[in-house]
Amino acid sequence: MGDFLHSFFDIHQILAVLPALLGEGLRNTLIIASLALVLGLAVGLLLAMLLISARWWLRAPARVYVDVFRGLPAIVTVSLIGIGLPSAGVRLFGQSPMGYAILAVGLINAAYIAEIFRSGIQAVPPGQAEAGRSLGMSHLTTLLLVVVPQGIRNVLPALANQFIVAVKESSLVYLLGLAVGERELYFIAQQAQAISYNSSSFVAAGLVYIVFTVPLTHLVNWFDRRLREGRRPTSGGTGPSAAPQPLVPVGATGFEAGA
């Protein structure tokens, strides 16, 4: 029992590695996850638009991308992008592996975000698009100003949860051998364990992940509940007998909305 406690709960090892975890490790983990999420949102939205296209030659490559990146283990994708590309002479980010780490995690998340966006867009009532076209909007304008914003609002909690996933997936970039100053949480813990042969550094890293992600998960769940409560019909009347609300496209002025 004593050996077990020493291997996993050595307070001296935990206190020794904690400053690096809370400083460099947490900072770089959030940088990788945040920039990867931005990339994932941009690529994911584009993929979602292609997935709902009426043209098969637009849907097909988007579907292949989503299926491939969702089907591959994340560690394989990180290795192919972060190790394979530089080895093949494709040096997009110079000597620093940080850019490859962000690219890999971002492209992985894009596949999942694309499906999130697609489900949100397709959940928008068809009447919204019809109302947009009745105002003289083109199909593309209706999609961009009416349907997509409502679809994004439908999936905001899922997108926030995807950030939590990106935070945890950032631990895979230790494979790329990040330089000092670029190390994320897991890489710092791994290096500490390699020096001390004690797994307490992994426990410390796990605690940092938990302290950050668990409250964020509960915040996302709370936001999701509030969003659902806001959609419930009120006694004021939004039921079948209530008068339909006018369509107001995002970005429209009062004149354009028919006010």
Low pLDDT (below 70) residues in the chain: 231-259
pLDDT, residue 39, reads: 98
Residues 6+ apart with CB under 8 A from 198: 6, 7, 10, 13
Q: Domain residues of the chain, as ranges?
A: 2-230
The span from the CA of 68 to the CA of 46, in Å, is 16
pLDDT, residue 241, reads: 39
CATH of domain 2-230: 1.10.3720.10
Distances (CA, A) of 182 to 5, 100, 174: 31, 12, 10
Closest C-alpha among 10, 15, 20 to residue 182: 20
pLDDT, residue 229, reads: 83
Total-model pTM: 0.84
CA angle 177, 11, 209 (to 5 degrees): 50
